[in-house]
Amino acid sequence: MKVGFLQTSPLFGKKDENIDKAMATIQSLNADLFVLPELFNTGYQFTSREEVLALAERVPDGQTTRAFVKLSKERGMYIVAGLAERENGRCYNSSILVGPDGFIGCYRKLHLFYYEKQWFEPGNRKLAVYDIGKAKVGVMICFDWFFPEVARYLAVEGADIICHPANLVLPYCPQAMITRCIENRVFAVTANRIGTESRSEEPLTFIGTSQIVGPKGEIFYRASTDRNEAMVVEIDPKIARDKNITPMNHLLNDRRFQVVSSRTEDFKNKLGCLRQRL
Ligand code: ACM
């Protein structure tokens, strides 16, 4: 299976140009699954809710989703792309998944980063895993990487590949995603952007370094920090289905829910019970 990403430098607010440029690159590529960055069509640094509303689109009947459904059909390709979504006057930082048979799904970013909290509503839908024939794929967006339970949830739900549109500014994510892949035995395709946006007093520089990582932490390709790039690599997604670390250790079945709970109160109670028993 061929999976790839596009690393771009969108021009803020120039949706037509950003969409046309991305589509022209994708037209020349051969891939089964292709991932574009977060907010690839609008740019990132909004300065008001009105601005977000004006640039956001309805899904699936908005401009970008319709264009990518057409492109997916023409190219026989599945595509994940980040955009600002509008629904009933509210905006979400979302990513669509489209394929040769049309629109498949839309993920709304759960963990909003910094000023995104002023512009977007946090995601209000469950994470989902989709069977696209050659693999099962899950989607998370950028800062979701900081919350390991997101990648874990997608792995538990059967994802072979995590598609990860991003607009990274913190430097840690490319290394951290190696761990996300190892601890969940999944592939991850992080599609990031480059460039600087200075639309407020706090300019943001995006770190590039988009990458494709394997279930054992293999970096199949890591992009530059400062160039537009497109890359496609061949992977075998079935490798992600073997969760045995040793013949006696299964990555998911060996978890110790009895004593390790992510809810602090549960954890304290269970620890108290354990102490009493000892
Ligand atoms: C981010 O979540 N765009 C940093």
- For CA atoms 137, 138, 139, 144, give the dihedral sign: negative
Output the domain CATH number for residue 178. Answer: 3.60.110.10
Residue 247 lies in a domain: no
Q: How far is the CA of 37 from the centre of ligand 1 (A)?
A: 11
**Residue 206 shares a structural domain with residue 262:** no
Q: How far apart are CA 184 and CA 159, in angstroms?
A: 10
**Residue 197 shares a structural domain with residue 258:** no
Q: Which atom of ligand 1 is nearest to the CA of 170?
A: 4
Bond from prior residue into 60 cis (ω within 30 degrees of 0): yes
In this structure, which residue's CA is closest to atom 4 in ligand 1? 168
Mean pLDDT of 207-217: 98
Q: How far is the CA of 175 from the centre of ligand 1 (A)?
A: 15
**Residue 29 shares a structural domain with residue 86:** yes
**Residue 150 shares a structural domain with residue 275:** no
**Residue 164 shares a structural domain with residue 43:** yes
**Residue 136 shares a structural domain with residue 174:** yes
The residue whose two tokens read 């530059």 is: 224
Clarify whether 142 is annotated catalytic: yes
CA-to-CA separations, 67 to 22, 70, 272, in angstroms, rounded:
11, 5, 57
Residue 87 lies in a domain: yes
**Residue 226 shares a structural domain with residue 266:** no
Clarify whether 109 is annotated catalytic: yes
**Residue 222 shares a structural domain with residue 272:** no
Q: Which two tokens stand for residue 121?
A: 């509503």
**Residue 208 shares a structural domain with residue 169:** yes
**Residue 87 shares a structural domain with residue 132:** yes
Q: How many domains does the chain have?
A: 2
Lining residues, ligand 1, CB within 6 Å = 38, 113, 142-143, 167-169
Residue 223 lies in a domain: yes
Q: pLDDT tens digits, residue range 32-85? A: 999 999 999 999 999 999 999 999 999 999 999 999 999 999 999 999 999 999
Q: pLDDT tens digits, residue range 147-185? A: 999 999 999 999 999 999 999 999 999 999 999 999 999
Q: How far is the CA of 109 from the centre of ligand 1 (A)?
A: 10
Query: CB within 8 A of 269, min separation 6: which ones?
Result: none
Domain of residue 268: give its range: 252-278
Question: Coil, strand or helix: which one is 110?
Answer: coil
